[in-house]
Amino acid sequence: MEGPVEERLCGKMKIGCGLHRYNLRDVFTWSLLKTILMGQVLSLLICGTAVSCEYLTRAKVETPMLQSFLNYGLLLFTYTTHLSTRTGDRNILQILKTNWWKYLGMAIADVEANYAVVKAYQFTTLTSIQLLDCFVIPVLMLLSWFFLKTRYRVVHFVAVAVCLLGVGAMVGADILAGRDQGSTSDVLLGDGLVLLSAVLYAISNMCQEHTVKNLSRVEFLGMMGLFGTLISGVQLVVLETRAIGEIKWDVHISMLFVVYTLCMYALYSFMPIVVKMTSATAVNLSLLTADLFSLFCGLFLFMYKFSALYIISFVVITVGFIMFNAVPTYSALPEEPAEASDDPMAQSSSDHLLLSADSDTQRTETLTANDTP
């Protein structure tokens, strides 16, 4: 009698976790591998921004709003220009007429999130920032649950806990290596800024997921470039005019600005693709390894002290990310037909599905005709 009871209990647990339909062959697919690799590319791009920021800080250049302005300006030059050439229902004039306030709010959240987390380094420690910055994941899951109607299984919460455990190992390695950098002039203010940036990032990422999955990547990036440039430009004039005037420009400083801007531009351009493949929550889990890549670079560039906990942390975070993506989430909303996409891959996939449907219809009609006396 014990055998059947144990099988029923295991079966209920698998159903609750969402594992009842999956075996190892279903889990470790090429799609999962591609998701992991693309997520780590995003982490490497963030690592590039972190390293260039470190060099700029050492050169006494602290202009976070100027750096953001350059990134948004590049988005404006490419994606907003492309969006302005679009004709039809989703042209730029129609978007601004109907949804300008939505994209304005999205851009405000994104710009201020970037500014708040950089500003936090002036008041609190690196350890606090690394720990509190993870607050974006539960906030994003909560927002996705209520607004995007995303439903998670038990395995997803376990996966998030595993990833956060990996972050804890990374922070422990930092403390052992004596890397508790940053200021302690006003820790409560600094920690509050980190939490504020996490909430704003969660709002921005949720809006990004909704836009790229229901509208288009070009529309999201074009509107982000337009409103992000306006907002960061105003703050740049108000907050950093004197700091920019004090920069001693040379080839080295200019190249650091170029590297930072290109890494951020690539991150903003590439991230919506990965979000569309998975979800904003999954992408943020993969970005937890960005600090580790920065640390590995620091071993050679800034002579950081190595700890085996860094390797353990990377492995644990990767395992948690695989767990999260192994079982898909589902939406409580009924599926709606997606609008026209700018992605040729998506269009090709759609055409393939239509052709498959036509073939199935023809095959059914043929069988019916053969069965008719």
pLDDT number for residue 233: 95
With a CB cutoff of 8 Å and minimum separation 6, the contacts of 70 are 257, 260, 261
Residue with tokens 């806990």: 161
- Helix 187-214 to helix 92-120 angle (10° resolution) is 150
DSSP annotation of 78: I
What is the three-class DSSP state of 353? helix
User: How is 148-211 classified by DSSP, letter by letter?
Assistant: S-EE--HHHHHHHHHHHHHHHHHHHHHHHTT---B--SSHHHHHHHHHHHHHHHHHHHHHHHHH
What is the three-class DSSP state of 135? helix
Query: Which tokens in the block code for residue 276?
Result: 């569309």
User: For the chain, what's the residue count?
Assistant: 373
Residue 352 placed within a domain: no
Q: Tally the domains of the chain.
A: 1
Residue 355 placed within a domain: no
DSSP annotation of 305: P
Q: How far is Cα 57 from Cα 183, in angstroms, rounded to an integer? A: 14
Cα within 13 Å of Cα(273), Cβ side: 17
Residue 289 placed within a domain: yes
H helices within the chain, ranges in order? 2-17, 24-27, 30-58, 64-75, 81-84, 92-120, 126-132, 136-147, 154-176, 187-214, 217-239, 241-245, 251-277, 280-286, 290-301, 308-326, 344-371
Residue 309 placed within a domain: yes
Q: Average pLDDT by consecutive 10-residue portion of the chain (373 residues)?
A: 47 49 60 84 90 84 91 96 86 90 94 88 74 88 91 91 88 69 69 90 94 92 96 94 91 94 95 91 88 76 72 88 82 52 45 41 44 44
Handedness of CA 122, 126, 130, 131 (dihedral sign): negative
Question: Domain range holding 118?
Answer: 29-329
Written as one letter, the residue type at 206 is M
pLDDT number for residue 218: 93
pLDDT number for residue 179: 60
pLDDT number for residue 354: 37
Residue 348 placed within a domain: no
Q: How far is Cα 233 from Cα 297, in angstroms, rounded to an integer? A: 32
pLDDT number for residue 373: 42
Q: How far is Cα 298 from Cα 218, in angstroms, rounded to an integer? A: 35
Residue 89 placed within a domain: yes
Residue 273 placed within a domain: yes
Query: Which tokens in the block code for residue 139?
Result: 């906030």
Residue 340 placed within a domain: no
pLDDT number for residue 110: 95
